Structure 1
Amino acid sequence: MKHLIFLPGASGSTAFWEPLIAQLPAEYTTQVIAYPEFDHAPKHPDVYDFASLGNYVLAKIQQECIVIAQSMGGIFAVQAALQKKDLVKGLVLIATSGGIDLSPFHVQDWRNAYQSTFLQHPNWFVKTQVDYSLQLNQIQQPVLLLWGDCDPISPVAVGHYLKQQFHNSSLHIVQGGDHLFAAKAISETAEKVKDYLMCLEQKEV
């Protein structure tokens, strides 16, 4: 299980992952999935809305792997854990901001700022209302939850909630971390991911 799949957030930025990947063990192969029509990725004839984008991402998962997802990318990670249990052996969810009902957590609405910033992006992430809350307890794979304590988009309370929903999860909070801490507090993020990967390897022995 030496393959890592990285899923961007709603920006679609594949470059977001480069600093983290550089600090992870070299023996792991990495695959960063680009979303068609996001961050200069070309269109794809089979991708035209959020559901078809999810199917596109799932189709890219073709071997045993750990899925590492930022923000709204966590929706696809959860979807993959539920639908490709034989291949997805674990999840790392970073500042997840979708896939559950966030209304109880008084989160900052990111949608207007997102649409103003990413004028050329499709609005699929903005419009989606997918909710996997009732299915989270079906996920048996080990889950690492990484959250920043200064994140108004996905507050720490969301991380605590998800920890309660997953059967096998751990939560680490990055002090001073905002919504993009994985590309800023790189060393701390990398250490937690490496510890998680090492634990998985030990369980395989």
Structure 2
Amino acid sequence: MNSAQIHEAFTRFQTACPKPTTELRCLSPFELLIAVILSAQATDKKVNEATARLFPLANTPQTILDLGEAGLKDHIKTIGLYNTKAANIRRTCALLLERHGGEVPRDRVALEALPGVGRKTANVILNTAFGEPTIAVDTHIFRVANRTGLAPGRTVREVEEGLLTATPEEFRQDAHHWLILHGRYVCTARKPRCPECPIHDLCAYPHKTEVN
């Protein structure tokens, strides 16, 4: 896509969904952090089911630690890799109390120093919790960026940097949410729903599906 097409694409995304946000249910930066850690290789639906059990009982670093390892695992055992995630969450809670007064830091380096938090998770926190114009590239966004020609790249980092460069500043804050929703519900992996796509005529994908 050229710059004019990219601007038009984001204009259409904005018109269709003026105020996009995460589908993870959370009421604080800490709840978002825990939900995103849990979301690795898990659906938002499964995470929301687990946090609906967890957060009413424990939604701060100290209260999660107070649950104990077995107690935490009992609340998240329906999620894949729950043993590893429980260990990371408990270590993260301890570090938040030790280094940040129990608060989620608004700093990339500090976030990425937390167990279970990589660049993608840090970008989600910075964008969704703190309103920074970052773009977290997951499998959906990686696919959309490459398939449409919006920001082709061989690696997640290349796509992230390409999107940050290509996305007009006015759309950068919400770009992450628009693209993930587009990849999740329209530009799907196996059979994209091209006839329903709002940017069908702008997209560079050569194998568009047709109306059945």
TM-score of the two chains, using structure 1 as the length reference: 0.25
TM-score of the two chains, using structure 2 as the length reference: 0.24
Judging by fraction of residues, say which structure has more helix.
2
Greater radius of gyration (CA): 2
